[in-house]
Amino acid sequence: MDKEQLKERVCQLIRDNFEETQKLGHAIFNEPELGFKEVKTSAKVRAAFDELGIDYTTGWGITGVKARLKGANSTRTVALLGELDAIVCRNHEASDPVTGAAHCCGHNVQIANVLAVARALKESGAMDYLGGDVVFFAVPAEEYVEIDYRSGLLAQKKLKYLGGKQQLIAEGAFDDIDMAMQMHVSATHAPDGDFTVGASSNGFVGKLIEYHGRAAHAAGCPDQGVNALNAAMLGVMGVNAIRETFRDSDCVRFHPIINSGGDLVNVIPDYVKMESYCRASNVEALAHYNKAINRALKAGASAVGAQCKITDLPGYLPLRPDPHLRDVLRGNAQAVFGWNATVEGEHSAGSTDMGDVSHLMPVVHPWVGCVRGTLHGADYKVSNEEAAYVKSPEVLAMTLIDLLWDGAAAADEICREFKPVFTKESYMAFLDQLASGS
């Protein structure tokens, strides 16, 4: 059997198993769970692997499930990832009435794609023709939410980092993986769906900012108080004053909110709590601008005699898709979606923890246009289930075959040409440095 015949066999199985893939996607959609709490979703993944007779390990990042199909030999290992967690969107019609969780992020589609490809490769006997292994990895907690809850898990030593893939890297989950792939849904108006090959995106540092002043009667003796709210406003103005130094190419974003801004109108506010991200397009800019923003925030406190405490939490690193891996993906996307419906994509100011993985190994992160409405919004809806549950896994499976055909020659060449930004050890040291503010 040649490579094109194997691709056709695998894709036919994906088409034949559409209803099974769709059923899993809908089942996960109907029971959304937040990060590091994805117990039911993890159980669904394990049950699917059990049915397929694919061995797996569990407990990665608390809820993660990692399975492997071995090839004729194990020259290289490619991971196909899907994310277990949902986002909070209380107004979505399918949201959990207690937690507000809803799968208006498309992670349920990712997991269904992972299982669709696993089923097709297993049932087709494709691994006998491939010169490397495929890891199917259901990973936790991509959405950076519930910081207080996750900080509690850190305090209990159940986590080292707040993001799912960060935690998996620290646990060694990627130590036996050479490259990684993951799709994501996106909005589209194309009747047959479309495919964005993937582009870069920002990284971010999470920031908790506290201003401490001194309470006093706001009218009777304001001279005896220290206004923490004024300090916070001056801090934000300080950041605004240095925005002209933010280079356009670094795509810097700072977008604070005030969680607590005072208790009573006739009392000088003595405590203000703010939250924000510092985002940038590369790690050097991320570290540089985060320090500059911290300096400006603290200057606001100094101006009025208040105190400023900043807690920097390692967020996600910028996404760096590997160009050679994208080339392999692009050809298969064009074969399935068509040339006109396959596009390159532009840099995004948003963030994903797949960016962290991309600093260690070749990564590709395409977007499949199959959704109407707004991602993370109450009007989100998968509108093209064929694009979501058939075309998308076809592209991913064909790409895996290309990478691992002929003794994994393509995967091996991509890995040899890739220049990692970090080792696992230097990566963890960088995150710890961000958290220390040094």
> pLDDT-derived band of residue 107, with 50, 70 and 90 as boundaries?
very high
What confidence score (pLDDT) does residue 196 get? 97
User: Per-residue pLDDT tens for 283-298?
Assistant: 999 999 999 999 999 9
First to last CA, the chain: 57
User: Per-residue pLDDT tens for 149-168?
Assistant: 998 999 999 999 999 999 99
Residue 133 has pLDDT above 60, yes or no: yes
The mean pLDDT value of the chain amounts to: 96
What confidence score (pLDDT) does residue 73 get? 92
Q: Is the pTM of this model over 0.85?
A: yes
What confidence score (pLDDT) does residue 438 get? 53
One DSSP character per residue, 292-354 reads HHHHHHHHHHHHHT-EEEEEEEE--PPB---HHHHHHHHHHHHHHH-STTEE----BSS--TH
Tokens 């990832």 sit at which residue? 81
User: Per-residue pLDDT tens for 308-321?
Assistant: 999 998 899 999 99
**Where exactly are the structural domains of the chain?**
3-201+319-429, 203-316
Identify the CATH class of 203-316.
Answer: alpha beta
Residue 359 has pLDDT above 60, yes or no: yes
Query: How far apart are the C-alpha atoms of 372 and 307, rounded to whole Å?
Result: 47
Identify the CATH class of 3-201+319-429.
Answer: alpha beta
Q: Which residues pair with 311 in a beta bridge?
A: 208
What confidence score (pLDDT) does residue 5 get? 97
One DSSP character per residue, 350-406 reads S--THHHHHTTS-EE--EEEEEES-TTSTT-EE--HHIIIIIHHHHHHHHHHHHHHH
Q: Which residues pair with 133 in a beta bridge?
A: 77
Question: In terms of C-beta density within 10 A (0-12 exposed, 13-18 middle, 19 or more buried), how is residue 385 classed?
Answer: middle
> What integer is the mean pLDDT of 310-337?
96
Instruction: For the chain, give the percent of residues with pLDDT over 90.
Output: 94
Exposure of 98 in the CB half-sphere (CA atoms within 13 A):
4
What confidence score (pLDDT) does residue 1 get? 86
Q: Which sign does the torsion angle of CA 331, 335, 108, 381 carry?
A: positive
Of 199, 200, 191, 198, the C-alpha closest to 341 is: 191
Question: In terms of C-beta density within 10 A (0-12 exposed, 13-18 middle, 19 or more buried), how is residue 187 classed?
Answer: middle
> What integer is the mean pLDDT of 358-382?
96
Query: How far apart are the C-alpha atoms of 414 and 234, rounded to whole Å?
Result: 49
Q: Could you tell me which residues come within 8 angstroms of residue 313 by beta carbon, excluding any fewer than 6 positions away?
A: 147, 162, 205, 206, 207, 208, 435
